A and B are shown apart, each in its own frame.
Chain A
């Protein structure tokens, strides 16, 4: 009996293992920050580099933090979706402009629209390292205390927004 069940069992086990592996995105790296507070930062603002934007200004309500850059193709892809999400006024969207040319970033927002409440500039990528950013666009969902609830790596679409973000936002507000 073992003669047949063992090889078939091994084969099925391996097949399921490989099949699951096929469906997974090898580029996705789970963030160790989930469930922990986002590391604090203070950075100059894109609209006015004289002014600073810091972490504490985001606290107090559920918010979204989007890492983007003009050199990032996926960011252009998701920009329309971000504009639509901003239009719903569900949560404030903050931006981290990652290793970018400020002039080009400002022009981008003029031409494509500005979904952000504030955009902070991370010119040398130092803050992005603290957040474990490795591929823009990345979007962090933070609760009122600044804990990371969820992180999405890849362009956001409205479908992903409804499926992954909205249930977590409702749960964080206790409307779950």
Chain B
């Protein structure tokens, strides 16, 4: 057990290996924006990774590009617009709210409502069933047992 723990301990530094977040931007607000965008922007080569986690060449190009835009003083909206104009809604993990993405945004709520509706129907149906008389059931069971003996 302790040997496994030791092994896990040795693996711990691996989780800290960040991809080129070397020399942070001078302005801490800009650095925070940079780090936030690294988590929000999808790497289109390895689609289930954000660009901050991916070592694909395209991801590193996009990191460099986003860094440049931040250094030029662009804000989050402008950088999102830059990415959207080139790669479309898919590039952001939280896409804009548009007619095309509305279903995506509403689906969880709609499914939850459908679940509640189904639950309500089941409960209603059960509630209208007659309540079985426990004493009667017990008596029947005892009678059946007596007959068997």
Q: Which residues of A contact B (CB under 8 A)?
A: 26-27, 29-33, 99, 124-126, 128-132, 134-135
Q: A50 CB to closest chain B CB, in angstroms?
A: 25
Q: Closest residue of chain A to B118, judged by CB?
A: A6
Given A99-B57, A125-B61, the answer on whether A130 and B47 have CB atoms closer than 8 Å is no
A69 (CB) vs chain B CBs: closest residue:
B57
How far, in Å, is B84 (CB) from chain A's closest CB? 7
For the A-B complex with A30-B88, A132-B88 known, give 9 more contacts whose Cβ atoms are closer than 8 Å. Answer: A29-B88, A29-B90, A32-B85, A32-B88, A99-B61, A125-B61, A126-B65, A129-B61, A129-B65
Give B residues with C-beta under 8 Å from A.
Answer: 44-45, 47, 57-58, 61-62, 65, 84-88, 90-91
The answer to whether residues A125 and B57 also contact, given A29-B44, A134-B45, A135-B44 and a CB cut-off of 8 A, is yes
Cβ–Cβ contact B62 & A129, under 8 A? yes
- Do B61 and A26 touch (CB < 8 A)? no
B88 lies within 8 A of A125 (CB): no
Cβ–Cβ < 8 Å partners of B90 in chain A:
29-30
CB neighbours (8 Å) of B87 from chain A are: 29, 32, 132, 134
Interface of B is mostly: helix
Residues on the B chain within 8 Å of A134, using CB: 44-45, 58, 87
**A31: which B residues are within 8 A, CB to CB?**
88
Chain B residue numbers with a CB within 8 Å of A26 are: 47
Which interface residue of A30, A32, A33 has the most chain B CB atoms within 10 A?
A: A32
Chain B, Cβ-Cβ closest to A135: B45
Residues of chain B within 8 A (CB-CB) of A124 are: 61
Contacts of A135 in B (CB 8 A): 44-45
Nearest A-chain residue to B62, judged by Cβ: A129
Tell me the bound Cα distance from A134 to B47 in angstroms: 11
Of A31, A33, A134, the most chain B CB neighbours within 10 A belong to: A134
Q: Determine the residue in chain A with the shortest Cβ distance to B58.
A: A134
Chain B residues with Cβ below 8 Å from A131 are 86
Residues in A neighbouring B86, C-beta threshold 8 A: 32-33, 129-132
A35 to chain B, nearest CB (A): 13
Residue of A nearest to B100 (CB): A30
Cα distance A134–B84 in the bound complex, in angstroms: 13
Q: What CA separation (Å) do A130 and B68 show in the bound complex?
A: 14
What would be 18 A-B contacts, judged by CB atoms less than 8 Å apart? A29-B44, A29-B90, A29-B91, A30-B88, A30-B90, A32-B85, A32-B88, A99-B57, A99-B61, A125-B58, A126-B61, A129-B65, A130-B86, A131-B86, A132-B88, A134-B58, A134-B87, A135-B44
Contacts of A126 in B (CB 8 A): 61, 65
* Cα–Cα, bound, A126→B62 (Å): 9
| Cα distance A26–B45 in the bound complex, in angstroms | 11
Question: Of all chain B residues, which has the CB nearest A153?
Answer: B44
- Closest residue on chain A to residue B48 by CB atoms: A26
A residues within 8 A CB of B65? Answer: 126, 129
Distance (Å) between the CB of A99 and the closest chain B CB? 6
B42's nearest neighbour on chain A, judged by CB, is: A29
